[in-house]
Structure 1
Amino acid sequence: MPETIREQSVAQLGGPSSVLARQRRDHAEMDRLMDRYRTLAYGEDRERILREAVQLVFSHAFAEETVLWPAVRRSVEDGQELTSRVEEEHQQINDLVAAIERLSPGSPEREEKVRRVFALMRQDIRDEEDLVLPRLQEALPAARLRRLGTAWDTVRRSAPTHPHPVVPRRPPANAALGVPLGLYDRMRDAFGLSTPMAPAKKVLTALAGVLALAAAVARCRTRR
């Protein structure tokens, strides 16, 4: 089996557009954000770093579950077992972050949950880079890894950025729910309504306004 992708060059991973290289870049950014959070005293900067980490980990995980893990299950002999392991970690992260978003910033209970979720995120990164992704690298040519990277990045850019208990871990159900929830989350993020609990009425009002505008633009185009 190939060595962990952590120690390989970008060329060995199939180039910068390979799904392996893209995954590793996201993992490195997660590590940076977690390290940065630990160095900061409580305040707005610390909360901003936590929001960025949450938004990254959820969009990243959704792209994995929609594009990457199905490829692992198709291509790797024990892909079912490998992906089940990381899906369990994703579910634990989902549950912890959902609890964190319900708690007041700076509270001891919230800080303990942040510590636990960061530990899970680091374990998930190691399992992916040391166990799952090397097996996919062994099974697929570089050209296929690059095509997977393009699909993964497309999904990641519109994926949900917060926990949602209604979203399953596997397609097609997760993909069907992910599109509207991704739009909902990104509206929350854009309007600064994502922590600690977004007022649902404000979010839905903003979302309705965007959808109404999009519908009006579509009608104008069809009349031309």
Structure 2
Amino acid sequence: MPSRSEVLRLLDAGLDYAEAGRRLGVPAGQAFLIATGLPADGGGALTAEERRRPGMREGSTQHLSNPPARSPAGREHVRVWLRERAGRDGPLRRAAEARDVRPEGDRAPEDVRELTGLLTRDHDRVTSLVKQLNAVPGGTKGGSAARAARRETLVGLIAEALASHEPAERQHLWPAVRNALEDGDRLADQALEQESGAARTLARLERTAPDTEESDHLAQRLTEELRRHVAFEDAVFARLRKTLSEEERERLGAKVARAWTTAPDRAPDARGARPADRRGTEREE
């Protein structure tokens, strides 16, 4: 344990409590306690005499009592241990595999009809699926057959959501952007180009066996493409909220919601090639 004189000597040398604590191997709040005999979070109740103690600092010392938290899960060897431990937990693994991966709640609830709010909600639902996809170990991380099947299900759900989301945007959102914003043609063209790129990546991902290295790479690419596209649309939405009236946005939102409900369901084999036709999977005769 550092002594009071050691802490005060470092303070007299011009160091703050954070650096003094680091050099002495103790938290900053503990260094303050050693130097002053007072807790760092008691500044609001100090007497005049206590404020004159050696080692006291001007202003609040509250921050010294709450050092930054460091999560051990941020270290790769800890994450490896957690994955291995979870993999050996049979009940936990079976519960995770049985959990419904579909986003909860209505896609177009009665209290959400405004265009940008409705599309943002749908973006969140797709993002939730993409996060789940990236959380399931793939071919490069030793994923099991059950996990490969789960990844395949998630890819199908992403494709299913985008199969009605993007046509509705093309029919109702982007024409409104072209008409309402001065640079609407440029914005709409850029958005449609982004959507086309993500659609090509998704199509390749659907045709690729889920337990392969290529599937992992395509999933990561799709994640980045969708992230950029959602950020782009969020910026467009902010401008639309300033340009279009709420009544107009609600009218367009109702059209989008109606387009979703009338969109044809995708056939089981419309999400890509049959598993036996996927690259990396042998055809069974």
Task: Decide whether aligned partners of structure 1 residues 28 and 133 sit closer, same or farther in structure 2, where only a CA change above 3 A counts.
Answer: same
Secondary structure of 1:17's partner?
Answer: coil
CA distance in 2, matches of 1:39, 1:102: 20
Question: Quick check: 1:121 aligned with 2:226?
Answer: yes
- CA deviations 1:148-172 (Å, max 9, x no partner) are 001011123344xxxxxxxxxxxxx
In percent, how many aligned pairs have the same letter?
24
C-alpha RMSD of the superposition: 1.9
CA distance in 1, matches of 2:149, 2:184: 41
Match in the other structure for 1:176: none
CA distance in 1, matches of 2:271, 2:175: 32
Question: Contact between 2:156 and 2:206, CA under 8 Å: does it hold in 1?
Answer: no
Aligned residues: 156
Task: Decide whether aligned partners of structure 1 residues 187 and 39 sit closer, same or farther in structure 2, where only a CA change above 3 A counts.
Answer: closer
Question: What is the deviation of 1:196?
Answer: 4.3
Amino acid at match of 1:39: A
Structure 1 unaligned spans of 5+: 1-14, 160-182, 200-224
Question: What is the deviation of 1:195?
Answer: 4.6
Question: What is the deviation of 1:94?
Answer: 1.4
Question: What is the deviation of 1:198?
Answer: 4.6
Q: Please identify the structure whose Cα radius of gyration is greater.
A: 2
- CA deviations 1:100-130 (Å, max 9, x no partner) are 222222221122112101110111000001x
Amino acid at match of 2:198: I
Match in the other structure for 1:72: 177
CA distance in 1, matches of 2:227, 2:118: 17
Question: Contact between 1:105 and 1:196, CA under 8 Å: does it hold in 2?
Answer: no
Match in the other structure for 2:136: 40
Amino acid at match of 1:125: V
Query: When the two structures are superposed, what TM-score results if normalisation uses the length of structure 2?
Result: 0.51
User: Which of structures 1 and 2 has the larger relative contact order (alpha carbons within 8 angstroms, sep 6+)?
Assistant: 1
Secondary structure of 1:106's partner?
Answer: coil
Match in the other structure for 1:95: 200
Query: When the two structures are superposed, what TM-score results if normalisation uses the length of structure 1?
Result: 0.64
Amino acid at match of 2:251: R
1:154 counterpart (240, 253, 258): 258
Secondary structure of 1:43's partner?
Answer: helix
Match in the other structure for 2:212: 107
2:269 counterpart (186, 190, 193): 193
Amino acid at match of 1:193: D
Task: Decide whether aligned partners of structure 1 residues 37 and 120 sit closer, same or farther in structure 2, where only a CA change above 3 A counts.
Answer: same
Question: What is the deviation of 1:56?
Answer: 1.1
Match in the other structure for 2:119: 23
Question: Contact between 2:198 and 2:222, CA under 8 Å: does it hold in 1?
Answer: yes
Structure 2 unaligned spans of 5+: 1-110, 138-146, 276-285
CA distance in 2, matches of 1:101, 1:142: 38
CA distance in 2, matches of 1:135, 1:124: 16
CA distance in 1, matches of 2:208, 2:229: 24
Moved segments of 4+, more than 4 Å: none
Question: What is the deviation of 1:64?
Answer: 0.6
Secondary structure of 1:51's partner?
Answer: helix
Match in the other structure for 1:132: 236
Question: What is the deviation of 1:97?
Answer: 1.6
